[in-house]
Structure formats: C-alpha cells, structure tokens
Amino acid sequence: MLQIQGESYDDVEKNVSLLRVPELDSELEELRLSLRKIYPEHSEEEINSVWSQLLQILGPYHVNRDTSELGNESIWDSSSVVLITYPDAIYRKDESTLKTLAEFIKNRLGGLSSVIHVLPFLPSTSDGGFSVSNHEKIEENFGDWNDLKNLAITHKVMADLVLNHVSASHPWVHQFLKTEEPGSSYIVAPSQIDIWEEVIRPRNSSLFTNVKTDKGFKNVWTTFGPDQIDVDWRNPYIFLEFLKLLVRYINNGSEWIRLDAIAFIWKEPHTTCLHLDPVHLIVKLLNKCLKIIKPSAVLITETNVPEDENLSYLTDGDEANLAYNFTLPPLLLEAIYTGQTDLLNNWLSNWNELPTCTSLLNFTSSHDGIGLRALEGIMENNRVHNLLVESEKRGGLVSHRRMSNGKDQPYELNISWWSAMSHIGSDITLLQFERFLLSQVFTLSLKGVPAFYLPSILASPNDLDTFRKTGQRRDLNREKFEANKLIDLLKNFDSPASKNISYLSHIVKVRSRLRAFHPEACMKCISTDIDNCIIFQRGSGEDRVYVICNMSEKCLNIKLLNELDLLELDSTKCLIDNITGSILNVDKFQLNPYQVVWVSITD
C-alpha cells in the first residue's frame, strides 16, 4: 500500500529537478496544474506533496523516454481485434487458468485476439471479479504476474482498472471500520443521506449500506451493491493509489487500460453524481500519466449511459482513446429481430466524427448484459418493450435500475448472444448461425475497433445451471469451459463453435489487409429504399469498400450499380466480394438471408 508523507516545497523542487528533461519539462507542470484543477479545496502544500509523489512514481518512465519516438507508434490498424474473456473462462484441473487460456488462444484463436481483454484477475469477492479485495496480486487460481507477462509476449493485453469501488473485504474497508488510516479517509460515507435525491442509479439496490465501525454505525456509499463500497476520489491520495496499480499493470504487460464505471467516481450533493467535471479532469490526468509510462498505451472508458454522455470522454481528444459503443448491441439486436433498418440507418448516417487517435469499441456481447440506456432518445418505448419481449422469448431476463421517483426501469438485457440469435419456433437453430455471423461481420465493418466475447464465439447458450446456483442474472452469459471437453467439441467441424471460429478467423484475415477497415478510416451511410437492407462505405478512393447487409430471413435482389451510386462501371473494372472472392453480377445480384458482402472495385 502506498504510504503518504508530507513534504516541503523544497523537497518537491528537488524531485522535479531530478526528473527534468528539457523536451518534456512542460508535462511536469501540467501534472501539477491538473491536480490543482481537480482538487481546488486542498491546500497548496498538500497538492505539492501529492505532485511530488506522483513524480516519484512516474520518474523512471519520464526520464528514460526517447522524445523522438513520441507519437510515432500506431496504436491500432485494420488487424486490431479485441477478445474479451475471463481469466478462468477456460480451465483445466491443477493448472493456472491463465496458462490454460494462453494455450487455447495460441492454438485456436490467434487470429481473433490481437488484443486480449482479460477481465478482472485480482482477488475478488463477487460480481465476476469487479469487487476487488486486493490490489497487490493476481487471484491464486488464475496464476501470477508472470502468466500475464507471458500472455503479453504475443498479444496486447487489456486490463480493468476498477476505480469506483473496492470489495467490502478490502484492507481499506477494514481500516475504515477501525478508524485507521489511510482507509478511514478512503471510503465514501456521507454524514447526510437526504441530499442525494438526484443521483442517477445503475442498480435497484440501496444507494447506502449501513456498517458497524468502532465509532458506531455509518452509511457507506454502495453504487453497485453492498459488497462494492465506493472509494472517495475527493481525496487526492486515492489517485496515487490507483496510479501505482496502473504502473503495476503496465510493468506486467497490460498496455490497454479499461476504466470501469468511471462515470460514477465523483460525488457532490444535489447533483446526478454522474460525469461530473472532476471525472473528466481525472481521466485527462490518467491519460497524461499513462502516456508518460507507455506512449503507445490505449485508455478505454466504459459508461453504460446515453450516447452523447458516452462520447463525452472522446470529444476533447485528450481523455480516452476508446469508449464502449453501448448503442450498437441493442440497436442491432432489434434490427435482426424485426428486419426494420430505419434506426440503424439513421444512426449510421449521424455517426459522430471524433478526434485523431480516438474511436469506439464495437461489440455485440460482453461479460455484462446488453445495456439499454444508450437507446434513450433513439428508440421509442414501444419498440424497446418489444425488444425485451423478444429477448425473454429466447430465455433472456431484464435487470432494472432505481429511478429518483422510486420506480424501477429496465437497465440491461441478460442473455447470451448465441441464444439471442435463436429462432422462435420448433427449431431454435433455424438461421441461428447466419444471424450470429451477420451480427459479428456487421460489427467488424463499422468504424472503430471490433471486439468479440469468448462465450459468444464458442456458441454458448444461456447458462441456466450457473444462474440457478448463483441467482445472478449476468451469469446467464458467463459460461466457463473445461479445456479438454472444449477441444474435443472443436474436433467436430460441424459444431457451432467450430464453424464460428473458422468463419470469423477468415473474415478477420480478410479485414486485416483492407485499409478501408482501419479504425479511423471514414464511414458513410448510403441511403437505400430497399427494405431490410443496410449499405455503407468504408474508406475512400481506391481503398473504399462497400458493406452491404441483408437484415432479414429472405433473399434480397439488388441492382448494385444503382444502390452504390455507380451509374456506370468502366469496362475494365468489376465488383468483387472480398469475403468470398467472387466476382459479382452488377445487373442481378442476390443476397442470401442475413448475408453480408464487402464489395470493392477491382480490375
């Protein structure tokens, strides 16, 4: 644990002079100014003390940087694909799960995992690892820091910085209960609980949990439930604690850093306690520190909120590099269920332009549910209701959040993406594979960085057994796989999991050679009068690719030249589908149910 000690201004100046590099000198002052903006109520002496300790943490990285290489390394390209997985998603008896996972990815998923998002791997007491009880080590069953380093030899690794809260079993909480430092000043425990009526909640559990301390009962803030106790970011030393953890992540191979539930970390009375100004300032400061430690690192924000709020972490260009595209999963799911493409087409037509080195992380499924808040202002309530009904028909459940009026409102769908793609009828597998591939190829086609969730790729249905044991709705979509059984399953080339891996590996390989699919390459929606069809262009000039999607269970006949605004095609040119390698008939072209083609003009 980081020990905080006061320092004189002379001590601060000494530390600064030891770290001074002419080309980077302004960065040091920027860090101090950032701290002052975030913590204006703290004394100059305290800010200087925090600044000095921050410089001590960053010092080795600041001094050793080669300024000539700053900004020259690309952080992503057309081959960038994120694989989201739990550290114990694949397990084998008497073997650390990170080793088992690394072996499986190497042998089966190498092409689908240029970046591996290893979900929380620190010791935890609940919530799938997001209730962290120790910041010093990796959970014993998963392995150790060397296992993470080994995974980072051949892949970029993405790790979770759970900033908002810690487990009720964390040492800081134990210290809080005993009125011991530093924990006694690290936990949010307001003396008044009647000044928080405007707080926007992500859950329907109590905002406060009453705990017994050696000085009597106190109410601690529990945004996500009683086992996840919020830490007080108004204390600047909390920043140093998490900066130290960030350094540990980087030193052990994690270059992509996901800021979990970042929007909730700052609390002020009579506000929503969501996206408050200090939150953005903290993200900016984390970004500055991260780029000193590792200039090629990527910072990702995770905020299940309406789209404009989500994008607020990207628009300034000096906060996050990526934000989760929470609008995509429910919008795409509704289009697949109904065949209606009006909302998707309108959304694509109004895609936000973002600064350089920022983009969206496009995904259909993750360890959490399918968030619904991103639909606010985009989808009418009756259509949202029908979406919930269609999901429930396929075994899905709905989780809620508590509104300020005391009523509960749908917050997310809990369902495996593979089950979500099933057919309603006697044969649930009818066109299930085609729907699934449509959803993944559509995601791969969008501007941004695509992400796959391992259970989805492995065709995991709703995990009813685990849900019945835990009662946790998100466990419907968190199946774990015994390695030897899974390998045997994949030997059957006709199994859904084997087919998914084979097809998607081919698609990603094709995508990696097309510059049109660079995460920041331009995207333009091409309006069409064809029902059930979406067409958009990626890239420009000779690199451009037309993405054409059939969102229905019927075949679609398309006149390509008309729909692509190509009034005529040079006699020496032709249209080719990059996915199949087939030359397309421009006069009579048919799309199969749920088919996607990537069309280029070629000689």
From 127, 147, 232, 260, active-site residue: 260
Q: What angle do CA 534, 535, 541 make, to 5 degrees?
A: 165
Kind and range of the H or E element at 399?
strand 397-402
* C-alpha–C-alpha distance, residues 103 and 157, integer Å: 15
* C-alpha–C-alpha distance, residues 513 and 505, integer Å: 13
* C-alpha–C-alpha distance, residues 542 and 3, integer Å: 58
Please count the other Cβ atoms lying within 10 Å of the Cβ belonging to residue 247: 18
Peptide bond into 22 cis (omega under 30): no
* C-alpha–C-alpha distance, residues 136 and 175, integer Å: 17
Give 340-358 as a 3 state SS string.
Answer: CCHHHHHHHHCCCCCCCCC
Residue 340: C-alpha distances to residues 226, 307, 501, 546, 553 (Å): 41, 21, 28, 20, 12
* C-alpha–C-alpha distance, residues 322 and 527, integer Å: 28
* C-alpha–C-alpha distance, residues 356 and 360, integer Å: 12
- Contact by Cβ (8 Å): 170, 132: yes
Return the amino acid letter for 248: R
Indicate the burial class of 184 (C-beta count within 10 angstroms; 0-12, 13-18, 19 or more): middle
Residues 417-455 as b/e (b if ≥16 CB within 10 A, e otherwise) read: bbbbbbeeeeeeeeebbbbbbbbbbbbbbbbbbbbbbbb
Q: Is 482 helix (H, G, I), strand (E, B) or coil?
A: strand
CA-based nearest residue to 373, from 313, 326, 407, 311 = 326
Taking the alpha carbons at both ends of the chain, their separation in whole angstroms is 63
Cβ within 8 Å of residue 154, ≥6 positions away: 106
Q: Name the token pair of 551.
A: 């969102």
* C-alpha–C-alpha distance, residues 142 and 273, integer Å: 35
Q: What are the beta bridge partners of residue 257?
A: 159, 299
Task: Kindly state the DSSP code that residue 582 receives in the 8-state scheme.
Answer: P
Distance of CA 565 to the CA centre of its chain: 36
Distance of CA 88 to the CA centre of its chain: 19
* C-alpha–C-alpha distance, residues 455 and 117, integer Å: 13
Helices of type H across 64-170:
97-108, 145-154
Question: Catalytic residue at 260?
Answer: yes
Residue 572: C-alpha distances to residues 401, 560, 568, 586, 603 (Å): 59, 17, 12, 14, 6
The catalytic residues are: 260
